Structure 1
Amino acid sequence: MKLKNLVSAASLGIAMMIAGSPGIAAAQDANVLNIATDATFPPMEFVDKGQRTGFDVDIMNALAKAMGKQIQWTDIDFKGLIPGLIAHRFDAAISAIYITPERAQVVDFTQPYFAGGLSALVKADSPIKTLTDLNGKKVTVQVGTKSVNFLRDNYPQVQRVEVEKNQEMFDLVGIGRADAAVTGKPAAWQFVRTRPGFRVLDKELTTEAYGIAVRKDEPQLRDQMNAALAKIKADGTYDAIVKKWFSASTAATANPK
């Protein structure tokens, strides 16, 4: 889910210029939430047999039910989520978005709803054993995600290979055009569970939390979502969704403090 970098200054500037114009979200029925996601990041959000599904999708559907609202989904590339939100193209975005100080300067976030972090995935027979072994190697990352700047700032010797889609990262590792992929922990572990011949490095690169992004001019929506999140945690709905998509051990540590 998909994690996840700053919008570029240029794209942010364009979004801000058009933010004052009435958009899709503004024209909607008050009982309908227009929610954006990049459904290419299993198990957080993806398309299966033509249906949008995943952990984030189930969480958002549960929140909407608790709020007495319906959802209209908007599919968009991850790098367009923050600019599109600022530009009023939709009401909120849920797509394995890490809460970061940089993003919090331009959008608001709900309370964290899941603990995650960046992990490195390699082929099972790769000589890469530790994070320092990434130096000098080709490491693929998804454009617009936090992985891009994290590697640039912390592993400057890494040769970054930037791609548009999460699946492309894994494909490049599989065919040997990249030595590793850096992505969100849930996606990395989901991939190795479903595809033999790969492994995730034991040590995570980061430990972070996911949040739902909303505009700063919609504090009431943020508060409503926070109240709904507290409700589904109290009535057991949240735990049931976590257990559906993750192992029992993951479920025990999923709720960030």
Structure 2
Amino acid sequence: MKLFRALSAAVLSCMLCAATAHAADDVLRVATDATFPPLEFVKDGQRTGFDIDLINAIAKTLNKRVEWVDIDFKGLIPGLIAHRFDVAASGIYMTEERRQVVDFTDPYYKGGLAVLVRRDEPGLRTPADLAGRKVSVQVGTKSVDFLKQNYPTVQRVEVEKNQAMFDLLMIRRVDAAVTGRPAAVQFAKSQGSVRVLDKGLTTELYGFALRKDEKTLTTQFDTALQTLRTNGVYAKLVAKWFGPSE
């Protein structure tokens, strides 16, 4: 009887482990720093934005459910490598430096670094006018190293959140902010006192980041992205968040 009970317990334990593993297979743990509208931000207590909608659409295509993880932007790549989550989706540029440590899906949107200035600042007309100026940037983003390498006389003011860059610009603590064009354009639309310089700093591609040991999942993401482009869902999301002309 004791042997039977022990065997039964062992079988039950294996069944529970298998069920747990199966449940885990149905879950996508996705990390984001939801402070970068219109790609990801919080509205009425809920995450929303282009990246959020696109990840949810991909998960639906893959018959998975999303478990969101909120984290500062600078922690996305380290957290991914440390297996804290499966995917990083937060307006991440597909840079060569990042490709050394993580894989990316096919690009899902084009962006680039842009300069945001106040409209009453006539001395800032092109990126060249940033020389010697105070410019706010978000830590962990390409903006930091790009300014270091290409605009060494710029006085960088590094902050943790995207919104903090804009706040410093609005209260005149800095002369400009450098961030991704989608976020810069979105903020300029909401605040008539600022504008985005016509000439951008870079052209970049956004991709979802995954670990290098998750080749199968990366392939599944690429296939799902192609499905969403084919069935029209992707185009609808682009029109929703960026306008029909995109």
Query: Normalising by the residue count of structure 1, what TM-score does the alignment of the two structures yield?
Result: 0.86
- Picking from 143, 146, 154, the partner of 1:147 is 143
Distance 2:208 2:214 in 1: 13
Structure 2: unaligned runs, 5 residues or longer: 1-20
- Residues 93-139 of structure 1, C-alpha deviation per residue, up to 9 Å, x if partnerless? 00000000000000000000000000000001112001100000000
Q: Distance in 1 between matches of 2:112 and 2:216?
A: 28
1:121-200 matches, cutoff 5 A: 121-126=116-121, 127-200=123-196
The alpha-carbon deviation at position 247 of structure 1 amounts to: 2.0
> Which of 211, 214, 234 is the matching residue for 2:210?
214
Q: Deviations over 1:146-195 (max 9, x none)?
A: 00000000000100000000000001011110000000000000001111
Partner of 1:242: 238
- Structure-2 residue corresponding to 1:31: 26
Aligned counterpart for 2:41 among listed residues 25, 40, 46: 46
Deviation string for 1:11-44 (max 9, x for gaps)? Answer: xxxxxxxxxxxxxxx9971100000000011111
Using the alignment, how far apart are the partners of 2:118 and 2:72 within structure 1? 27
User: Is the partner of 1:29 in helix, strand or coil?
Assistant: helix
Per-residue deviation, 1:248: 2.3
Q: Within 2, Cα distance between the matches of 1:170 and 1:124?
A: 14
1:118 is aligned to 2:113: yes
Shift of 1:196: 1.5
Amino acid at match of 1:162: E
Q: 52, 74, 79: which one pairs with 1:57? A: 52
Structure 1 residue 225 corresponds to structure 2 residue 197? no
Distance (Å, rounded) in 1 between the aligned partners of 2:92 and 2:22: 25
- d(CA) in 2 for partners of 1:87 and 1:204? 34
Q: Kindly name which structure, 1 or 2, has the bigger radius of gyration based on alpha carbons.
A: 2
Q: Which amino acid aligns with 1:130?
A: T
The total of aligned residue pairs comes to 225
**Deviations 1:41-67 (Å, cap 9, x if unpaired)?**
111100000010000000100100111
Q: State the match for 2:86 in structure 1.
A: 91
Query: Which has the larger share of helix?
Result: 2
Code of the aligned partner of 2:235: D
Distance in 2 (CA, whole Å) between partners of 1:227 and 1:217 is 18
Q: For 1:202 and 1:123, how far apart are their aligned partners in 2?
A: 14
**Partners of 2:114 and 2:200 in 1: CA distance:** 5
Q: Report the residue type matching 2:161 in the other structure.
A: K
Structure 1 gap segments, 5+ residues each: 1-25, 252-257
Q: How many angstroms apart in 2 are the aligned matches of 1:182 and 1:189? A: 12
Map 1:4-19 onto structure 2 (within 5 A). Answer: none
Distance 1:51 1:195 in 2: 23
Identity over aligned residues, as a percent? 62
Letter in 1 for 2:57: A
Q: Aligned to 2:75, what secondary structure does the other structure show?
A: helix
Letter in 1 for 2:71: I
The residue that corresponds to 1:11 in the other structure is none
Equivalent position SS for 2:174: coil
